[in-house]
Amino acid sequence: MSFADLGLSPKLLEAIAAAGYENPTPIQKEAIPPALKGQDVLGIAQTGTGKTASFTLPMIERLSKGRARARMPRSLVLAPTRELAAQVAENFEKYGANHKLSMALLIGGVSFGDQDAKLTRGVDVLIATPGRLLDHFERGRLLLTGIEVMVVDEADRMLDMGFIPDIEKIFKLTPMTRQTLFFSATMPPEIQRITDQFLHQPVRVEVSRPATTADTIKQNIVRVPSKDDRQKRAVLRELIGKDDVKNGIIFCNRKSTVDVVAKSLQKHGFNARPIHGDLAQSFRTETLDKFRSDDLQFLVASDVAARGLDIPAVSHVFNFDVPIHSDDYVHRIGRTGRAGRKGAALMLVTPADGKHLDSILKTIGAKEIEELDFSEFFEANPASERPDRKGGRGDDKGGKRRSRRGERSSSERSSGERSGRNETKDAKETKEPANDQPAAEKPVDAEVDNDNAAPANKQPDEGRSSKRRRGGGDARSSRRREEAVVGLGDHVPAFLTRKVAR
């Protein structure tokens, strides 16, 4: 079957051929015909199967007739992340090259003024993230009553990011006569509830079992005997340094880990950059453009890059951290092995990751994932005895650790102790005890316990007092008292001596 058999217009077929596509994917074969008829579609397919074209092509076909009105878009596409929304916009530009359709992209990190100017002129296609869309609506700059086609892409990711209440609100702002195209890689119960509520007799298109991985991806794990992130980074450098690794995406669970891993790779001479939600949009866009154009070899990412990003030539995916949610594993490794290409996915597994690994195996329907033998590497590179502190400080600095406020490093403490001993020795040589007997050395801990029993001829230990001052101790704590204070001591506060009226 070719695209011509799906009922698309000659202008669309010409744009598809110019983009280099000849035959539709299974999800496109099943979803495009009912979408062209105006029916609601519920599409379920694994990531990387061409879901974007499944709703982009029929939308362009339907919108080719008619014109846009100011602040009243004719169609709406909701995406969970800025990167995915921008990618959908690129697909509309590619497939709509022969149609005079206007488009606006509403995402964060971009000026409200530029977006508002496009809405004022009127757009046929509005592509947005839920938060920025509602921002424009609540400012009175946008009406959704003219929506003819509404698309929700990567709905399960919307659920993970907490957008479901926003999605429900947006659905209620659109007319009941709209056509809804709803796409997701998995169908958890919450997503099923939304489809039951807002879709009208949808055509269910399911080309593969939910949460499955592509057969073109070779999956392996490396068991790391320690939770020490420095050892994990050493294993990662060993893996990405192999000759067959053309490029790759390295996924981490936390944004702070993304930054640490990216800096570590850069320090060791690898061409790597981070990408996560806390970075400026201009930096994120530049990073993705560099990665697509092969100017960047390794992309260190949070799950912001796990869904929907179409970068066809990714040779490897590395899971630096085992994903907490098993479905995220499916989406992460789906960045490789796309469009029939071969790909490889490797995951670092520590003893603490056993529960999450079992959940992944259950989700993908596998008994086990082939394990790579790294025993010789671990023998040559044992785990550090002192793991990194939270936040990754001390990374690749020769084992040096920044001391906390008020603390001294081990070298400072040892030098202070040596200095204290020398000062004590000098004091004893210059001033001998009155009874001509050498004063017995007393441990520091014993000094606190026997303050009240100190002999009259005992001189203060200058070494120990200077040691306390260097350690940040309070000078008042070193003052000796002849008697221990019990209760309030000799002074009674005045308010306790006042007579109480009865």
Q: What is the pLDDT of residues 137-162, one digit of tens each?
A: 999 999 999 999 999 998 988 988 88
pLDDT of residue 258 exceeding 80: yes
Q: Is 406 helix (H, G, I), strand (E, B) or coil?
A: coil
Boundaries of every domain in the chain: 3-206, 217-380
Determine contact, residues 288/275, Cβ cutoff 8 Å: yes
Weakest mean pLDDT among 54-63, 308-317, 330-339, 422-431: 422-431
pLDDT band at 195 (very low <50, low <70, confident <90, very high): very high
For 255-283, give the DSSP string: HHHHHHHHHHHHHTT--EEEE-TTS-HHH
More confident residue, 309 or 20: 20
Determine contact, residues 313/341, Cβ cutoff 8 Å: yes
Sign of CA dihedral 182, 188, 193, 194: negative
- Neighbouring-strand partners of residue 272: 298
To the nearest whole number, what is the mean pLDDT of the chain?
81
More confident residue, 265 or 488: 265
Determine contact, residues 61/36, Cβ cutoff 8 Å: yes
Q: What is the pLDDT of residue 210?
A: 57
Q: What is the mean pLDDT of residues 435-443?
A: 41
In total, the chain counts a number of residues equal to: 502
Topology, domain 3-206: Rossmann fold (3.40.50)
Question: Do the domains at 3-206 and 217-380 have one common CATH topology?
Answer: yes
More confident residue, 407 or 109: 109
- The vertex-324 CA angle with 323 and 327, nearest 5°, equals 70
pLDDT of residue 235 exceeding 90: yes
What CATH number should be reported for the domain whose range is 217-380?
3.40.50.300
Q: What is the pLDDT of residue 364?
A: 87
Q: What is the pLDDT of residue 486?
A: 56
Give CA separation, 333 vs 88, 153, 307, 423, in Å.
20, 19, 10, 64
Sign of CA dihedral 97, 102, 106, 112: positive
Q: What is the pLDDT of residue 287?
A: 94
Q: Is 305 helix (H, G, I), strand (E, B) or coil?
A: helix
How many Å apart are CA 319 and CA 89, to the nearest integer?
A: 29
The CA R_g of the chain, rounded to the nearest whole Å, is: 33
Q: What is the pLDDT of residues 283-306, one digit of tens each?
A: 988 999 999 999 999 999 998 777
Sign of CA dihedral 71, 75, 78, 82: negative
- Alpha-helical segments (H) within 268-325: 281-292
pLDDT of residue 125 exceeding 90: yes
* Beta strands at 179-184 and 343-349: parallel, antiparallel or unpaired: unpaired
For 103-117, give the DSSP string: EEEE-TTS-HHHHHH
How many Å apart are CA 134 and CA 128, to the nearest integer?
A: 10
